[in-house]
Structure 1
């Protein structure tokens, strides 16, 4: 059940901001944005900082790779809103929607590097099972993934396992493909702050 707070639980200044966003983008404000503006002192500011660092901070993983990780974790969690948002963002970042779709369809046959494939498999196992093993980590290292890349991928996984659960708990509305694409452009230009 969707709580009313996502529709009207905001201060006047935030309502004006949402109106301006809608006016200029010609798209509805996504529920993910609405959630971070509700109680920013409790959740929003911290979530934005953590997610921005995981998705846009320094990393050997490209922005496109991390957006693909977010889409993959979201697919494992069956979170429709986040699948749509991060599939669009990864596709735009790679400039290759087919690559992203192929990974989400079958990671084992997708045209991606072995290290990324091994990382996605590990993130899928962690998301599904809540645990990974030493063997999982050795597989990543033997595929050429560095310890820092593992840490970076785990940060993406943590951010989106949290976001997926919130999106489902708050019943985030699915957007049109055009709205997901507009959101993707915003995320690629400005990040998660």
Structure 2
């Protein structure tokens, strides 16, 4: 369901910000930003997402962006997959690595700890359940308990965001708009 209020229901200050974004980036404001700034009290996931994606972690920003893109791929959410794969690509400077990971996790050119972690996130996203054996399998690949916790926070944030994107019918922006958004996310985070 596409909400027209996201197109024209913002306060004057927010509309001015959108105008500035369009002038500077030469790209439209993407739907995720429109939702996040429409009713901050409704979409309070901004702080949760910022902490998961930019808080202290042994995972790099690129790794966490790849996790977000991967969870979004499992959820079949095109907007979030495109947005976070663009951000991950910019961070890594490696389009092939991101594409390969989202296409075939088993043959992707990533380390085994990240592969095992993404497998855990896929299982949790699909089945809504993981067990102690699943966690032990990830730990066996050298991933720390703190890294598992951080990855689960990314999974939580993007399972929420993916469902909102699907429910509100987020438009898939152009690759140029996604790249502009990715640059912003790398510079400013999710606040």
Question: For the superposition of Structure 1 and Structure 2, which TM-score range results when normalised by the shorter chain?
Answer: over 0.9
Measure how far apart 1:42 and its partner are.
2.9
In the other structure, the counterpart of 2:94 is 96
- Please state whether the residue corresponding to 1:41 is helix, strand or coil: coil
Among residues 110, 124, 127, which one is paired with 1:126 in the alignment? 124
TM-score, normalisation: structure 2: 0.98
- For 1:59 and 1:145, the matched residues in 2 are separated by 12
- For 1:18 and 1:182, the matched residues in 2 are separated by 14
Superposed CA RMSD: 0.7
TM-score, normalisation: structure 1: 0.97
Aligned residues: 191
Question: Which structure 2 residues correspond to residues 108-187 of structure 1 after superposition, within 5 A?
Answer: 108-187=106-185
- Please state whether the residue corresponding to 1:108 is helix, strand or coil: helix
Deviations along 1:7-35, one digit per CA (max 9) or x if unpaired, are: 11111111111111111110000100000
Deviations along 1:133-191, one digit per CA (max 9) or x if unpaired, are: 11100101101110000000000000000000000101001111111111111100111
- For 2:120 and 2:42, the matched residues in 1 are separated by 31
Question: Which structure 2 residues correspond to residues 46-65 of structure 1 after superposition, within 5 A?
Answer: 46-65=44-63
- For 1:137 and 1:40, the matched residues in 2 are separated by 34
Query: Any runs of at least 4 consecutive aligned residues in structure 1 with deviations exceeding 2 A, and if so which?
Result: none
Gaps spanning 5+ residues in structure 2: where? none
- Please state whether the residue corresponding to 1:192 is helix, strand or coil: coil
Among residues 85, 88, 91, which one is paired with 1:87 in the alignment? 85
Measure how far apart 1:93 and its partner are.
0.5
- For 1:15 and 1:86, the matched residues in 2 are separated by 25
- For 2:42 and 2:35, the matched residues in 1 are separated by 11
- For 2:41 and 2:175, the matched residues in 1 are separated by 32
Measure how far apart 1:41 and its partner are.
2.3
